[in-house]
Every structure is written in structure tokens, then in C-alpha cells.
Amino acid sequence: MTRALLLPALLFLGPGCWSEEDVDQTCDSLCTLLVQECGYGAFPSRDSCTQGCLFSQEQGADVAAQLECIEEADGCDTFALAECEHAYSE
């Protein structure tokens, strides 16, 4: 449980700079869902989510599949969100 919640936080604190131009639609949609709709506690802000999403993509994560999984999950259930992240991250 703790690992499942810490892993997304650690991935999303990874190094790297990004700009609004770098944000693709998938990361934008994912962060809207996680931060604004679900209030997912692993992200203190939308910016941290976006930075983490871009970093995860660079590392080979299938962000599109993760977004689809989260959209199909039962509401904003924390365990379902963590399962989706675990299933589609590198």
C-alpha cells in the first residue's frame, strides 16, 4: 500500500524542465482527472502532476493506457488509481 502511493510521488518529482508547449493532450487529460476531479493526494499541484507525467513518458510509461485505465476505474478510488499507475509505468 505505502509503496503504491509513494511510487507515483517519486516518479512525479523526477528531474526535468517543461513548458506549456511540452504538455501533450494525454498528460493534460490525465492531470485534469487526477488533480482537479479526483484530488489525488500524490500530487500537491497540477504542475507537479504535469511534470511527473512528462517524466514518466520519457521513461517509457504508457500514459495513454494509464489514462484509459483511470477513466474506466470505479470513480476516484485511490487503490484503483494506484493500480493503473503501477500497471502502465516503467
17 is a domain residue: no
Structural domain count of the chain: 1
42 is a domain residue: yes
19 is a domain residue: no
Look up residue 59 and give its DSSP letter: T
* 5-59 pLDDT, tens digit each: 434 443 444 444 444 444 689 999 999 999 999 988 888 899 999 999 999 999 9
Over residues 60-80, the mean pLDDT reads: 90
Range of the domain at 81: 2-9+25-88
In the three-class reduction of DSSP (H, G, I as helix; E, B as strand; rest coil), residue 3 is classed as: helix
In the three-class reduction of DSSP (H, G, I as helix; E, B as strand; rest coil), residue 81 is classed as: helix
Give the separation between CA 49 and CA 34, rounded to whole angstroms: 8
32 is a domain residue: yes
Amino acid at 7: L
Reference 38, options 86, 89, 79; nearest CA is 79
47 is a domain residue: yes
43 is a domain residue: yes
